Amino acid sequence: MMRLVAGIDLGGTAVNYTFLDEAGHFRIDDLFEHPARSVDGPDTCLTQIADGLALAAAHAGVELDKVVAVGLDTPGPASATGVLSSKGSTNFVHPAWAGFDIRGGVEQKLGKPVVYLNDGNAAALWGHVSIFGSDNRATSLSAIIGTGLGGGVIVEGRVVTGRNGFGGELGHVLIPWHAIPGIEGLVPRCNCGRTGDLESLCSLTAIRRTLLPFFLTKTPGHSLAGLDPADAAKRVRGLAVDGDAMCREIFRVQARALGLFFDEMINVFDPDALVVGGGAMEATPEFRGWFLDEIRAGMPPQRMEQAGIALHVIPNGDTAGARGAALEAARTVRA
Ligand SMILES: [Zn+2]
C-alpha cells in the first residue's frame, strides 16, 4: 500500500481532514469534520485533532501508519513556523494558546512530521494546484472572501509565507477605492486601522460594518432594514443571488474592489491566474459568473498580453484548507 500524507485544517469550531496518496488523489471526497474544542485550550484541542484523525482514517479506509507526514493549517495570526501570536486571536481565545507552538504540539501528539501553513495560504495552494496540477511552475494570486479577506501568493509553484508568516495577507493591501463608482461619501475602515484596504470593502465584516449601513440609508424600506446587523449581513449574499438590486450592488462594490486589487497584483507578479474563493463564491453558477465579470469590469485596462488573464473560482471550498495543507506536506516529503 502506498504512502500517504494527511491534511488537517483547524478552524474555529471544527477540524477538517483529508488524505492525499502518492498518485495525487484525495481519499476523502467531501468534508470529514470533528469538533475542535479550541475554546478549551491546547490540551483538549490536540486530543480532539488526534482522535478526529483516527476517525477520518477509518472513514477513508486508510491506515494511519501509512501517513508519513502531516500538513496543518489554522487561522492566524501565527508565525511562518506555526507559533500562534502571543497577543491571542479571535479563534484561539483560551489564554494557554498565546504564543503556543501549534505545529510542534501537533507533531508531538501525532508522532509524525508536521508542516504548517496559515489557512489562507493553504486554501490558496489548493486553488492553485486545482488549476495547474501539483508539479508546476505557475504563479497565482488567490483572494478568499470570508469574515475577513485571506488568501495567498503562489510564485512558481511555491507558497510565499514571508519572513514573519504574513505573506499573502492580501486583505490589508490598500486599494484606490475612490475609483469605485457608486460609493461617494463612504469611508471604509478596517479592523487593522487602515482605511480603504481590500478587506475594508471585500469581506463579510465589510458588509456588516460599512456596505450594508451605507446602502440601507439609500434604500429606505428594504427588507433588511431594522434587522440585527450581523443577521442582516449574512442574508445579503442569498438576496444578491436571488437578484435583489441593493444586495447585488453591495457585491458589485466588492467585485470592483477585487478588480482594483488584482490589477495591482498583475503589475507586481504578471501571474498566470487570479483565483477567488470563500463563502461568497458558494452560490449559483449564474451569480459566480456575474461576480467574475464584475471583477474584470473593475480592472483598469491591462496591457494587451495580460488582458485575457484567467479568473478562477476555488473548487470544493470547504475542503480547501485541508487539501492545501496536505499538498504542502506532500511537497516537503518529495523534497
Ligand atoms: Zn485591514
Residue 199 grid coordinates: 478587506
Q: Return the percentage of the chain with pLDDT > 90, whole number.
A: 89
Banded model confidence at residue 12, pLDDT cuts 50, 70, 90: confident
Distance from the CA of 219 to the center of ligand 1, in angstroms?
27
Residue 151 grid coordinates: 488568501
pLDDT of the residue at 30:
87
Banded model confidence at residue 88, pLDDT cuts 50, 70, 90: confident
**C-alpha–C-alpha distance, residues 101 and 171, integer Å:** 25
Dihedral sign, Cα of residue 110, residue 112, residue 113, residue 115: negative
Banded model confidence at residue 35, pLDDT cuts 50, 70, 90: very high
Kindly report the pTM of this predicted structure: 0.95
Q: Give the residue-averaged pLDDT of 121-131.
A: 97
CA distances 214 to 145, 182, 196, 246, 251, Å, are 20, 11, 15, 11, 13
Distance from the CA of 185 to the center of ligand 1, in angstroms?
19
**C-alpha–C-alpha distance, residues 186 and 211, integer Å:** 8
Q: Give the residue-averaged pLDDT of 295-311.
A: 92
Residue 79 grid coordinates: 508565525
Closest by CA to 141, choosing from 255, 252, 293, 267, is 267
| 280: helix, strand or coil | helix
pLDDT of the residue at 316:
85
Mean pLDDT of the chain: 95
Distance from the CA of 197 to the center of ligand 1, in angstroms?
5
Banded model confidence at residue 87, pLDDT cuts 50, 70, 90: confident
Distance from the CA of 169 to the center of ligand 1, in angstroms?
9
Distance from the CA of 134 to the center of ligand 1, in angstroms?
31
- pLDDT over threshold 80, residue 291: yes
The CB density around residue 286, as the number of other CB atoms within 10 Å, is 10
Distance from the CA of 224 to the center of ligand 1, in angstroms?
26
Distance from the CA of 261 to the center of ligand 1, in angstroms?
13
Alpha helices in the chain, H assignment, sequence order:
42-60, 102-110, 119-132, 198-201, 204-206, 212-218, 229-241, 245-269, 285-298, 320-334
Banded model confidence at residue 2, pLDDT cuts 50, 70, 90: confident
> Which amino acid type is present at position 290?
W
Residue-wise pLDDT for 234-243, tens only, equals: 999 999 999 9
How close are the terminal C-alpha atoms of the chain, in Å? 21
pLDDT of the residue at 1:
56
Q: Give the residue-averaged pLDDT of 86-97.
A: 89
Q: Give the residue-averaged pLDDT of 80-100.
A: 92
pLDDT of the residue at 145:
95
Residue-wise pLDDT for 49-86, tens only, equals: 999 999 999 999 999 999 999 999 999 889 999 999 99
Burial of 61 from C-beta contacts in 10 A (0-12 / 13-18 / 19+): exposed
> Which amino acid type is present at position 277?
G
Distance from the CA of 173 to the center of ligand 1, in angstroms?
7
User: Which domains, and CATH codes, for the chain?
Assistant: 4-133+318-334 (3.30.420.40), 140-315 (3.30.420.40)
Distance from the CA of 262 to the center of ligand 1, in angstroms?
16
CA distances 245 to 222, 249, 250, 283, 295, Å, are 10, 6, 9, 17, 18
Distance from the CA of 209 to the center of ligand 1, in angstroms?
13
CA distances 334 to 17, 115, 139, 154, Å, are 21, 13, 20, 18
Residue of higher predicted confidence among 49 and 89: 49
Distance from the CA of 154 to the center of ligand 1, in angstroms?
21
Closest by CA to 272, choosing from 170, 141, 143, 160, is 141
Q: Give the residue-averaged pLDDT of 202-220.
A: 96
The CB density around residue 269, as the number of other CB atoms within 10 Å, is 16
pLDDT of the residue at 51:
98
- The residue assigned the cell 480532539 is 48
Distance from the CA of 194 to the center of ligand 1, in angstroms?
5
**C-alpha–C-alpha distance, residues 200 and 16, integer Å:** 28
pLDDT of the residue at 120:
95
Q: Return the percentage of the chain with pLDDT > 70, whole number.
A: 100
Banded model confidence at residue 154, pLDDT cuts 50, 70, 90: very high
pLDDT of the residue at 53:
98
Distance from the CA of 174 to the center of ligand 1, in angstroms?
8
pLDDT of the residue at 335:
86
Helix axes 119-132 and 320-334, enclosed angle (nearest 10): 80
| 282: helix, strand or coil | coil
Closest by CA to 265, choosing from 312, 305, 306, 294, is 306
Q: Give the residue-averaged pLDDT of 194-207.
A: 97
